[in-house]
Chain A
Amino acid sequence: MPSNERQAANELTPLSPAFFHILLSLGEGERHGYALKREISRRTNGKLTLGPGMLYGSINKMLALGLIEESGDRPDAHLDDERRRYYRITNYGRKVAQAEAARMRELAQLATATFGLPKHA
């Protein structure tokens, strides 16, 4: 359920790693919960593995904030279990992800200016 009074995109930043990774994964297309989890785990080399409670807790909160929405389309009906739910990113979610990326870029630039880049970066 999208939030009625949507806050400006940068007011939600910094996002939690879980939120940001979910947005990133959904940026590539619609996914169900389990696929999201596997994608995030792969992306972070297993460093961020979301358990079902934390995953759906995050999804629940992101739905309430209007960052993502449930998708009615079911990609492959004959392979699908009707209990699965599919999610996609909203326009607002995209803006928040952009704002978070911009924030991270600024932070990375500041860090580079201060410490330089590692030799084997």
Chain B
Amino acid sequence: MPSTPFSLKLYRFLLKLYPAGFHDDYAGPMEREFRDELAESSGPFALAKLWVRLLSDLALSLPLQFSRELWQDARHTLRLWAKRPGQTGFAIVALAIGIGANTGIFSVVNALLLRSLPFHDPSRLASLGAFFPPHGSAKEFHEWRQQQRAYLADVALIEQFDVNLGAVQNPVRAHLSYTSWNFFAVLGTQPVLGRWFRDGEDAPGKHAVAVISYGLWQQFFADDRRVLGSTLRVNGTPLTVVGVAPAGFNYPNNSNLWYAANYSPGNNGWQTIARLQSGITWSQARAAFAVEADRLWPRRDELGNSEHYPRMISLQDELAGPVKNASLMLMAGVVLILLIACCNVANLLLARTADRATELSIRSALGASRARITQQLMTECLLLSFAASIAGLLVALWTTSLATKVQPAPLSTQSYSILDGRVLGFAIALAIASSVVFGALPSLYAGRIHAFSARGASSTRGARLIRESLVAAQVMLTIILLTASVSVGRAFVSLMKTDRGFATKGLVTVSVSLDGTTRGVVGHQLPFFEEVLDRIRRLPGVRSASETEFLPLDATGFVGGSFGIDGRAAKHNSTMVPVLSDYFKTMGGGILYGREFTDAEVRSDAQVVVVNERFAKEFGSAADALEHEVTIGKSTPRKIIGVVTGMDYMTGTMDTAHSNQIFIPAHSPGGFVSTFVARVDGRAEDSLPVIRDTIRAVDTQVPVFGVKTMEQRMAEAVARPKFYRTAILLFAGFALFLAVIGIYSVVSYAVALRTHEMGVRLALGATPVELRGTLVRQGLLTVATGAIFGIAGTIFSGRFLESLVEGAKSVDLTTLIFSIVLIALVASASIWAGTRRIARLDILEILRIE
């Protein structure tokens, strides 16, 4: 029969699909039977019938046999694990951290870079950074927009503000975006209710219309469809609601209200977004945009700062901007960590397989094929990965919650979540890939174990070199990370210890905004603040209270300019901060000379001023400043009544931390955002509600927000450096942990391979302690090699660290010595533990086997 060879070949191939154990036992008889049946089936019809029967039998029996054999292997694995709980625990923890950290960071990368934006055809949306199109009037902007049609299908302008929103009583703070009328058309998003702005609605007199967010609709109007046409008050101005945005739409920057723009020349707070013209590539559009930017702004090269050059980037990149590089760098870091973890687990399994060489060779002698033993090992690896992935999900959850705290996603639809198809798929792929990586080496080794040779394959020189290089590399990495974590940790401690010119403990801060209220009118402002302060100061436990127009750490805008003394201008620009009486007393600021303002001076708008030491020193000694006057252009000079240390208005930025500061009495406070400060006895958190309610009780039309202790504001301000510290500390701790596993498994593998040699040495009179001592010395040689590279790496990475984390210094000798001693101690302990089987060796038994 001409078809015989092919049919047989095909059947042999299909038999290979069965699990290894079943195949080993029954492939022979099954093939024999197939020959019998084939011989009995004559004619194409009978042959086809035979194949149909065989294939349906295969479909039924294959899953059955697989589940049986996997279940057998799994039970075998669990028994093995129970015998070595410590090693198994180490392996699972190492992989769980590796897989978990990868999944967590990937969820950030996925949310920011892979998940598409919730807009129509988002890959065609661009952000025109640092570029202001003509915007003196609606007509000017829209005419310019039409002229760009060759490469931009549409362009929209956005400007953002925090505003007071709501009825006369109990208004709330909302984030508002002023937009050109075509903003929603550029994004291509549809409203759930009503409409977007219409052509011309951003012209003067026609723009009192607003679109509200889905959240605001639920909160203010309880999903009522009659919201359309109703009136909202924004900073006191009535606006008509014309539409409701879809759920989750909060671009830009958590906006919950969109208001047709009000153009004015000279405004430079605009953001510009655009949609590329169809058929135009990004490079074509960029080239055309560069020509237009040059035409509008021919001398832009003179800016001298590349950040201020107009540039066209995709909206997705713009939104991911601050996190993109950091998350990609972290991703590379955690992938590397996972690879190292896999290598270590591979070594651990290798050592264990070598330990089991006797068991495996007996099984091999009993007829278990190489495939069967490999299948058993792979099952063990997959189970290990599976257990690690489950534990890793917890690590991933923790990682995403940390990322959300440090750098929240720019859009609500981009929230970092591991409950996402792509992220879970990534985690599963990672688990399988890592089990292949760490399972390959032990499986290869097991395949080389021959029946009747209990010693298994001996280690080749090359393989030993690879393993030892791996250990040396880990020692190097651990030293670099340990020293870096000390350095970053120190930088953080000094950041927290920095004198910022105020005392954070026991300080309560609460903000108000008078925008659009009857209190916001000139002449009505100060009485409101005085009444509030009078009530706060009378509260039990309050030592002093005051108010400032710009709160340290949190200042979003400044009034500044070129100030001088007695007509001589200062070299540096100064920042002007209006404050009320008792401000320095309440903040715990240092008054070096003179005094601060009295209530009478504030009320009478006295022409007095308090300056900081830095400003005073520009003109000689700080003590002498009290005799002089501060001059601001041609306005009335102000008499200097005090010199203070000054305050840190922003953390970490050089501009304001060491700037010239001028404090003036806030005769007309409430211009933008005003903040009450109160120094209290006991825990500041406990005083937050009572102070908030006291302010609210004075006038319910004034919204109260930003109810926080100064310690909370400080924690928010240092969240990023704190994250660097935590991340690098975790990396270092994990690297140390991995080095322990790595050294331990390499040593115990070496001992397992050299059992015979050890037995002979013991027989010749060496004591177990002497033997183990020799191994520790040999192992430490590898560690020393790694340490040399580690020192070099530390010097190199120190420079990088200095640029990444402010205040991080290159590593000093003490830290380096500490790290090296630590790893030497840990390595010695690991080697000692890895060689403990030498103490239990039975010389007679070993020699008898030989």
Contact = CB atoms under 8 A, between A and B. Distances in A.
Contact of A61 (B33, B60, B68): B68
B840 interface: no
Given A34-B36, A60-B26, A53 B31 contact: no
Most A CB within 10 A of own CB, among B31, B57, B62: B57
Contact of B33 (A33, A49, A54, A59): A33
A59 B26 CA distance: 10
Interface in B30-79: 30-34, 36, 53-54, 56-58, 60-62, 64-65, 68
Contact of B65 (A34, A57, A83, A84): A57
A17 B643 CA distance: 101
Contacts of B57: 51-54
Given A60-B22, A60-B26, A61-B68, A51 B31 contact: no
B822 to A, nearest CB: 51
A51 B55 CA distance: 9
B25 interface: yes
Given A56-B22, A60-B25, A34 B61 contact: no
A53 B33 contact: no
B56 A83 contact: no
Contacts of A51: 53-54, 56-58, 60-61
Contacts of A33: 29-30, 33
A61 B68 CA distance: 9
Q: How large is the interface on B (under 10, 10 to 19, 20 to 34, 35 or more residues)?
A: 20 to 34
Most A CB within 10 A of own CB, among B25, B29, B56, B57: B29
Given A53-B57, A53-B62, A56-B22, A34 B68 contact: no
B64 A81 contact: no
Contacts, number: 59
A94 interface: no
A74 interface: no
Given A56-B22, A60-B26, A83-B31, A49 B53 contact: yes
Interface in A7-31: none
B85 interface: no
Most B CB within 10 A of own CB, among A37, A53, A60, A61: A53
A83 B28 contact: yes
A95 interface: no
Most B CB within 10 A of own CB, among A49, A51, A59, A81: A51
A54 B61 contact: yes
Contacts of B30: 33, 52-53, 56
A6 interface: no
Interface string B241-269: 00000000000000000000000000000
Interface string B1-41: 00000000000000000100010011011111110100000
Nearest to A57: B61
B33 A34 contact: yes
Interface residues of A, number: 18
Nearest to B11: A52
Contact of A83 (B32, B53, B58): B32
Contacts of A59: 26
B65 A53 contact: yes
A80 to B, nearest CB: 10
Interface string B471-511: 00000000000000000000000000000000000000000
A85 B28 CA distance: 9
Contacts of A54: 57, 60-61
B54 A34 contact: no
Given A52-B54, A53-B65, A60-B25, A84 B60 contact: no
B61 A53 contact: yes
A56 B34 CA distance: 13
Nearest to A82: B28
Contacts of B65: 53, 57, 60
B665 to A, nearest CB: 93
A17 to B, nearest CB: 14
Given A53-B65, A56-B30, A60-B25, 7 more contacts: A33-B33, A34-B32, A52-B57, A54-B61, A56-B22, A60-B26, A60-B68
26 contacts: A32-B29, A33-B33, A34-B32, A37-B33, A51-B53, A51-B56, A51-B61, A52-B30, A52-B54, A53-B18, A53-B30, A53-B57, A53-B58, A53-B65, A54-B61, A56-B22, A56-B25, A56-B29, A57-B22, A57-B61, A57-B65, A57-B68, A60-B22, A60-B65, A84-B29, A84-B32
Interface of B: 18, 22, 25-26, 28-34, 36, 53-54, 56-58, 60-62, 64-65, 68
Q: Which 8 A-B pairs have the closest CB atoms?
A: A51-B57, A53-B61, A83-B28, A56-B26, A83-B32, A34-B33, A53-B57, A52-B30
